[in-house]
Structures are given as structure tokens and as C-alpha cells.
Amino acid sequence: MYSAPFEYTRANSVAEALSIVSQNENAKLLAGGHSLIPALKLRLSQPALLVDIGGIKELKGISVSGNTLSIGALTTHAEIAASKDVQTHCPALAAACGNVGDPQVRNWGTLGGNLAHADPSSDPPTVMVACGATIHVQGSSGSRSIAAENFFEDLFVTALRSDEIITRVEIPSMAGMKTSYAKMAHPASRYAVVGVAVALQMDGGTVKSARVAIGGATPKAMRASGAEQALTGSSLDAAALDNAAKALAADIGDDAMGDIYASADYRKTVAGAYLKKAIKAL
């Protein structure tokens, strides 16, 4: 299919992009385009103006300051997966970005575009929620910092306003913790039928604290507090993992999604298995 007609312009700075968006009510930002372009072709999205922000250098790059990992919104999945800083400070994110789509998607798709699109079956949002990331946005009225678990609100819905741009993501260093991401990938699209991210702080062989997030099975990436409680204080023995898997199914509850590929009940069951996979991978 072909998209509906639209105008195109390129912004050279965040300020310029915000100015254009604020003056054009039906404008859409274009970063890597791997989410937007298919939506345009299917006419699920019909903006009057596309604002290309892909060349804005200030939105690119990876850095570490103290105990904080900072990633620019236009940094690609491939760059994140290959980054030694990300591999050191948030291994789960490097693993998740290394499993997004295929090489073409990973080399063009951007972290900011991925988060703004908020596909529940995408990989990075689940890791962002599990690792306590902060998403920084800038709009015509100023800047905001939004906790990842508050950023994703529903199916393809975020806390991002129409006149705001994601500028960077900050993640507290996970270097002293164990992090992992495991997913059951759809064989064609490579999207997560179920994706589970885990961040554990260990005290010897005992879990001192746990953060668990689920994606793919639910309309948005979300924390799994029951699974976290089941893991905390345990030695990750078989009984503890079984309890955590049952708790994760309860955390998902009625929010489980079903489709022609996998039913809601199937996703709830598989979630527990992939929680175990994520923990065993640690």
C-alpha cells in the first residue's frame, strides 16, 4: 500500500524540531522510521507533515557519568548492543537491543523512536521498566523527566505529549547487580510474544532485592511486584523459581493479551518459563 500524501521537512536541532511541531498540529516526528513507515503505508498514521530529526547530533551518543548510563534518543539498537559501556552498566539492555528485529532494523531503528512508539511486544521498554530508567523529554513548555514505569500507559500510548521529543534515557548503573532479558520471539517478526527482564541485587547466594518487568504479554511493559516479592530473600532454588513464575502469572492477571498466534492463557503460562530462563541466564 501507499501512504496518504504528506509534506516533509528536516530539522537540524531539537529547538527547530519543536518549533515546527508546535506550528503544525498534524505533524509527526521521523527518527529511524521502522515503526512509522509501516504505519504510514497501512494508513494507520496519516500526518500532514513529517519532521525528520534523524540528523540531530545532540540526540546521539552513549556516555557514563558517575553511576549513570546516558543514551541519546537517536542512538540505534545496534550501537547500544555493541557498546562496552552498555554491556558493563546494563547488560540486559545490550542483550535486548541485540535481539530487536533483524540487522536492518537494528542499524536504523532508534531507542527514542522505539520508546515513543510503545509497542508492547518490543524489547527495550521491558528492560527500561525493570532497570528503573528515566526518560528525559523536551517540549515547547520545557523539559520533563519521566520514570519508565510511568512513561508507558497503554497499548501504543505513552506520557509523551504531542509537542515533546525524547532527548535521552538515563539508567542507574547495574554493574553491581545481575541483569538479564529473555524473550519468546515470534518467528516471523522477532517481536516478543513474551519478554521478561530481571535485575537482581545479590548478597552472596541470596537475593537482596529484585526488579522484574514483563512485556509482550500485556498492553504495556509493566513491573511484576508479586514476582519480585517471591524472589526477594530466596536462594533462587527450584521452589523459589516456581513460586516466582506463579506470582508472575498473577501479576499479569486479566491484563494478558491474546491473538491468533498465542492466547492470553498461553502467554501467562509462558511468562513464568521465560522468567526462569532470564534468571538462569544470570
Last residue of a domain, one of 16, 34, 51: 51
Q: What is the mean pLDDT of residues 230-253?
A: 98
Check pLDDT > 80 for residue 280.
yes
Q: What is the pLDDT of residue 33?
A: 87
Write down which residue in 121, 146, 172 finishes a domain.
Answer: 172
* Averaged pLDDT for residues 114-140: 96
What is the pTM (predicted TM-score) of this model?
A: 0.95
Assigned domain for 196 exists = yes
In a domain, 1, yes or no: no
Q: Are residues 222 and 147 in the same domain?
A: no
Is-contact 1 42, C-beta < 8 A? Answer: yes
Q: What is the mean pLDDT of residues 245-263?
A: 96
Query: Residue 1: pLDDT above 80?
Result: no
**Domain limits at 12?**
7-51
The fraction of the chain above a pLDDT of 90, given in percent, is 91
- Chain segment 10-60, per-residue pLDDT in tens: 999 999 999 999 999 899 999 998 888 888 998 989 999 999 999 999 999
Contact predicate 97/123, CB 8 Å: yes
The predicted-structure confidence for 173-219, as pLDDT tens digits, reads as follows: 999 999 999 999 999 989 999 999 999 999 999 999 999 999 999 99
Q: Tell me, yes or no, whether 273 lies in a domain.
A: yes
Assign 236 a pLDDT band (cuts: 50, 70, 90): very high
Residue 39's domain is classified under what CATH number? Answer: 3.30.43.10
Q: Are residues 44 and 135 in the same domain?
A: no
Q: What per-residue confidence (pLDDT) applies to 2?
A: 86
The 10s digit of each residue's pLDDT in 107-123 is: 999 999 999 999 999 99
Which whole number is the average pLDDT over 141-152?
97
* Position 278 pLDDT exceeds 90: yes
Q: Which residue has the higher pLDDT, 92 or 2?
A: 92
**Per the structure, how many domains does the chain have?**
3
Whether residues 47 and 132 share a domain: the answer is no
Per-residue confidence at 282, pLDDT binned at 50, 70, 90? confident
- CATH assignment of the domain containing 80: 3.30.465.10
| Whether residues 155 and 244 fall in one domain | no
